[in-house]
Amino acid sequence: MARSRLALLSVLLAVAAGLAGAGTAASGKAPLPGLMTGKGPWGPNDGRDLKQRLKAIGLDALPREALALHIHQRIAMLVNGKFAPLPAGIGIDAKGKFITELHTHDSSGIIHVESPVNRPFTLGEFFDVWGLRFSSRCLGGYCTDGKKRVWVWTNGRRVRTDPRRIVLTDHLSIVVAYGTFAYNRGSFVSPVVAVLAVYGARGARLRVRWLVVMGVVGAVLLTAFRVYRTTNFTVIQAIGNSQTQHQILKHTSVNKELQLYAGAPQFTGFLLERTDYGRNLRWGRTLFASAMYPVPSLGRPFREGSGVLIYNGLIYGPDSTIDQVIPFQGELFINFHVAGVIVGYLLLGAAFALLQRGFDRAPTSVQAFSWQYVATWCAYLVAGAVAVISQIFIYALWPIFALAIWSRLGPADQRAERLVPGTQLDAESQP
């Protein structure tokens, strides 16, 4: 099971704070007995309807486990950014009178395939045994709604076909998620900006008109990419198929994109209004909790008190949806009022000054890129959130931290050569 655990972990990190007919028997006819079509959490659904479901989908009510075929898979489910645990006892009669080929013994997420015959079983059959509606459009009571949809990955690869037809092979890692899932465009915009900054400072100066052209083209491409990531098209289809390109461009609107991001002041106003304009100040508690929010394990105790959960709770209520980030200036306000916003942005400006000085004094292009890359992400705080920057510092900036440590801890002669290639040691390091 080690391979499946590693594959599952890689998907979830990449992952994390990412639908044809459902709820019918395998033949696609009548709805299954006892089908769960509501919102979670879901139980094992192991009551009187289980035997009827097995009959409808062609599986057996076995008196005991059969091991002609004995394999396992691991599945994780997420709904609106939170884990939806897989219950124990799926496919096992509540009174212990029978067991079927597809079942779970505990809540670890392991699916047991134990059959008297060696034949392929599918993920759709497992959900039918469970009696939980599942398709490319729905997971229980959660169905495609705007940007929210069902996403499925197996062994780290996104499934773009009918997920019900996924064959349950040994050690297969499966992730089923409902919500908004997107590849952050900033993850490749920030390096491009850093490269252009270094090129402009150390190579040929970039003309203003070319920067404007690149900005306009970049805005269109980034908006088109946002449209693409909400579809099931592959990269090859998006690049080489004219009909696919037409569908993507048809829904590409830079105007809507600008209006979306221009709505930040209204979101901040909503936050201030719903928190009674800082009447009960948090005194830094939510800021610290938001910074700890993306930290694995150690951050878990802080998440309930983070600005992320507070903000999403104000928007969605008890729905438990987590797909919005709390504005930095708004979180400063609910912690320290107006003074916090002023001091917070003064400190942010001081950080930019230090980063600019580091960029100007960097002896190599690689170091200049590192300074600019960090500064680009820090600039996101102007319109972004503490939790996002914390996530970037934890998961994306470690190569830069490693470079900084390596540059300072190496032997003096190598350090001088790395920082200023082709120079001799400075006077202090001479014997």
With 70 as the cut, is the pLDDT of residue 182 above it? no
Has residue 326 got a pLDDT over 60?
A: yes
Quick check: 151 pLDDT over 80?
A: yes
**Residue 233's pLDDT is what?**
76
pLDDT at 198 over 80: yes
Q: Which CATH class is domain 2-179?
A: mainly beta
pTM equals 0.65
CA 169, CA 27: separation in Å to the nearest integer? Answer: 22
Give residue 425's pLDDT. Answer: 37
- Which value, in Å, is the radius of gyration of the alpha carbons in the chain? 26
Per-residue confidence (pLDDT) for residue 208, from 0 to 100:
84
Q: How confident is the model at residue 183 (pLDDT cuts 50, 70, 90)?
A: low
Q: Which residue has the tokens 């580091």?
A: 358
Task: Name residues whose C-beta falls within 8 Å of residue 113's C-beta, 6 or more positions apart in sequence.
Answer: 69, 70, 71, 72, 73, 101, 102, 121, 168
Structure-model confidence comparison of residues 382 and 44, the more confident one:
44
* High-pLDDT (> 90) share of the chain, %: 45
Strand residues in 291-414 grouped as ranges (E) = none
Report the pLDDT value the prediction gives residue 12, as an integer from 0 to 100. 39
C-alpha 401/C-alpha 63 separation (Å) is 59
Higher pLDDT, 326 or 11: 326
- Mean residue pLDDT of the chain comes to 83
Residue 26 has pLDDT above 60, yes or no: no
Q: Reply yes or no on whether the pLDDT at 301 is more than 50.
A: yes
3-state secondary structure 166-190: CECCCCEEEEEEEECCCCCCHHHHH
β-strand partners of 112: 72, 103
Which has the higher per-residue pLDDT, 184 or 190?
A: 190
70: pLDDT strictly greater than 90: yes
> What is residue 410's predicted lDDT score, i.e. its pLDDT?
59
pLDDT-derived band at 264, boundaries 50, 70, 90? low
Tell me 319's DSSP state: G
Query: Measured between alpha carbons, how far is 370 from 397 in angstroms, rounded to an integer?
Result: 9
8 Å CB contact between 351 and 378:
yes
Neighbours of 104 (CB within 10 A): 22
Q: What is the mean pLDDT of residues 182-190?
A: 74
- Is the predicted pLDDT of residue 146 greater than 60, yes or no? yes
Q: How far is the C-alpha of 198 from the C-alpha of 98, rounded, in Å?
A: 68
Mean pLDDT within 220-246: 80
Which string of b and e fits 136-158 if b means at least 16 CB within 10 Å?
Answer: bbbbbebbeeeebbbbbbbbeee
For residue 238, what are the contacts with CB-CB under 8 A and spacing of at least 6?
228, 244, 245, 248
Q: Is the pLDDT of residue 17 over 80?
A: no
pLDDT of residue 261: 66
Q: Do 24 and 32 form a contact (C-beta atoms < 8 A)?
A: yes
Tokens of 364: 């190599």
CB < 8 Å & 24+ apart, contacts of 158-162? 160/232, 160/233, 160/234, 162/20, 162/124, 162/135, 162/136
Q: What is the pLDDT of residue 428?
A: 40
Q: Provide CATH 2.170.130.30 ranges for the chain.
A: 2-179
Say how far apart CA 230 and CA 211 lie, in whole Å.
29
Instruction: Give the mean model confidence (pLDDT) for residues 105-129.
Output: 95
pLDDT for 411 equals 57
Q: Is the pLDDT of residue 319 over 80?
A: no
The pLDDT of residue 189 is 84
What pLDDT score does 234 carry?
75
Per-residue pLDDT, 2: 42
Cα–Cα distance measured from residue 93 to residue 99, given in angstroms and rounded to the nearest whole number = 6
Report CA-CA distances (Å) from 226 to 182, 206, 241, 327.
Answer: 8, 28, 18, 21
Q: Which of 172, 167, 170, 169 is nearest to 156 (CA)?
A: 172
Which class for 349: exposed (0-12), middle (13-18), buried (19 or more C-beta within 10 A)? exposed
The token duo for 216 is: 């306009």
If you average pLDDT over residues 224-233, what whole number do you get? Answer: 76
Q: Which one is predicted more confidently, 16 or 51?
A: 51
- More confident of the two residues 241 and 343: 343
Question: Which pLDDT does position 320 carry in this prediction?
Answer: 63
Given a cut of 70, whether residue 81 has pLDDT beyond it is yes
Alpha-carbon distance 383 to 223, whole Å? 18
For residue 64, pLDDT over 60 is answered with yes
155 vs 158, 266, 281, 368, CA distance in Å? 9, 41, 45, 37
